[in-house]
Amino acid sequence: MQQTAILDKIQHNMQPGNITRSGFLGTDTRHLGDILIDDDARVKRLGVSHQAIADRMQALREKGTQGLGNEITIPPHYKIRVDSVRGKLPCPFGDVGLFPKTNTTITNTDTGETITFTDLSTHMIGVHGFYEGHGGCFRLDPEKLVSTLDVQPETE
């Protein structure tokens, strides 16, 4: 993907200190376009789509809200906690609206893997195919998302 002026502006928004203190790119020094291409290829190799991953994240988040801020057991093998801290964040891609700082932490008790994501993470994955740069605290590897959340490969 060519690094356009628009992607340059978005990548600027993602730098530390602009929207969040640590930014969205971690230690990744690649162009945003290259990060998006790389993760898009990884998702395709897994046989799923960005939207399917985001839908699964959203569905489990909704189930986790039943715990009213406490961890809750959701069959077949998840422990989910949905909790909020003060504040809301805009999307670095410039989409309209603000996203509450709601953290969803999901543990797959079969694999022992735990994933934490925000409402903004789900939006950026579903709409933009952006999983954050490598080395960042909120980077979500597509492979780990798919295995931990049991995202099913899409059938033809």
Partner 1 sequence: MFAAFIFPFLIAVGTMCAISGILAILMVIADATIGNYGTVKIAINEDKTLEVEGGRSLLITLKDEEVFIPSACGGRGSCGLCKLKVMEGGGDILPTELSWLNPTERKQNVRLSCQLKVKNDMRIRVPEELFNVKQFRTRVISLRDLTHDIKEVRLKLLEPDSIHFKAGQYVQVEVPEYELTDEPVYRTYSMSSEPFATDEVELEIRYVPEGICTTFVHKHLKEGDELTINGPYGEFLRSDTTRPMICIAGGSGMAPIKSILMDMNRNHINRKTRYFFGARSKRDLFLLDDMRQLEKELPDFRFIPALSEPEPEDQWNGETGLITEVVDRHIKDASDMEAYLCGSPLMIDACIETLKKNNMPEENIFYDKFA
The residues of the shown chain that bind partner 1, judged by CB under 8 A, are 19-22, 65-73, 82-90, 97-98, 100-101, 103, 105, 116, 137-138
- Residue 155 CB, shortest distance to partner 1, in Å, is 35
- Residue 154 CB, shortest distance to partner 1, in Å, is 31
* Whether the Cβ atoms of residue 2 and residue 34 lie closer than 8 Å to each other: no
Q: Name which of 117 and 130 has its Cβ closer to partner 1.
A: 117
- Among residues 54, 99, 97, 60, which one has the least CA distance to residue 82? 60
Q: Name which of 120 and 151 has its Cβ closer to partner 1.
A: 120
* Tokens found for residue 28: 């990744």
- Among residues 56, 148, 52, 69, which one has the least CA distance to residue 107? 148
CB neighbours of 5 closer than 8 A, spacing ≥ 6? Answer: none
* Whether the Cβ atoms of residue 105 and residue 115 lie closer than 8 Å to each other: yes
Q: Name which of 71 and 141 has its Cβ closer to partner 1.
A: 71
Q: Name which of 136 and 142 has its Cβ closer to partner 1.
A: 136
Q: Name which of 18 and 111 has its Cβ closer to partner 1.
A: 18
* In the chain, beta strands by DSSP E: 72-74, 78-90, 98-108, 114-118
* Tokens found for residue 145: 């998302």
